[in-house]
Structure 1
Amino acid sequence: MNIETLRNFCLDKKAVTEHLPFNEDVLVFKVAGKIFLLTSLKSWELNRATINLKCQPEYALELRSNYHSVLPGYHANKKHWNTINLFTGELNASLVKQLITHSYQQVVAGLTNKQRTLFHLN
């Protein structure tokens, strides 16, 4: 997976926007104004790509125990966020996309009914 594939996959989801809220290096994808994916653009340039994704806590623990490339979220709530090392090649693109979709769904599930209606996520 490359950065453009990742970007297009995220932007194809409903109510998703992209931002550089922290600095020009940290690319963030949000659904209804809530972050579901963060990545360092420099990490992609250096072929050391990582992404941070929201995750259901029990599933996060399962992933971490099954894959060396899945770590507790860097600079994030370790219970709810994972850092995924894409550069190891351990995770195939299909699984990475599933994890991105899971993160998106976790954020959508946490929205209020009013927010879901406003962003047409019902």
Structure 2
Amino acid sequence: MNPQFDEMERSWRSLCLQMPLAFEDHPFGPDSTVYKVAGRNREDAKMFALLMVLHGELVLNLKCEPALADQQRSTYSQITPGYHMNKKHWNSIRVGLDEQTMRELVEDSYDLVVDGMPKRDKEYIRLQAVIQQG
């Protein structure tokens, strides 16, 4: 990978791993990193981000509210329908967005996934987030 990718990959990795109870997984092999969140049982973890190199470009797939997906895609040239994902619910993000926008996109993806989890898992994750913040 080139140095620009290394720096951006570290930045995106850090954003994803800052989310409460987030962790990395490699279910598709070493060439892609999946970021998941787990509630009480790590085996029931859900994916909120997928980091990969696609046709020579660093790409981060993030879940998105369907009502916002088209708006984001028309606002930012770096955001396109999610590669190899449900295009209604996922966006592919390419290098070039500012850090604050990236943070918001990662947080939104994470929150959407957590909101779809069972109530007990959501409560557990939120409690862990409060503990993590001190």
TM over 0.5: same fold?
Answer: yes
Task: Give the TM-score band, short-chain normalised.
Answer: 0.7 to 0.9
Q: Point out the structure with max Rg over C-alpha.
A: 2
TM-score by length of 2: 0.78
Which is richer in helix?
2
The 4+ residue runs of structure 1 with deviation greater than 3 A are none
The alignment covers a number of residue pairs equal to 114
The DSSP-based 3-state class of the residue aligned with 1:51 is: strand
CA–CA separation in structure 1 for the residues paired with 2:14 and 2:82: 23
2:100 alignment counterpart: 94
Single out whichever of 16-25 and 108-117 deviates more from structure 2: 108-117
Which among 33, 36, 40 is matched to residue 30 of structure 1?
Answer: 36
CA–CA separation in structure 1 for the residues paired with 2:48 and 2:91: 11
TM-score by length of 1: 0.85
Where does the alignment leave 5 or more consecutive residues of structure 2 unmatched?
A: 1-6, 39-44, 128-134
Question: Deviation per CA, 1:27-76, whole angstroms, max 9, x where unpaired?
Answer: 01001110000011x45xx5x21100000001111101111211110000
Q: Give me the identity figure in percent.
A: 37
CA–CA separation in structure 1 for the residues paired with 2:74 and 2:10: 29
Question: Deviation per CA, 1:82-121, whole angstroms, max 9, x where unpaired?
Answer: 00111xx2x212101110111001101111102223x432
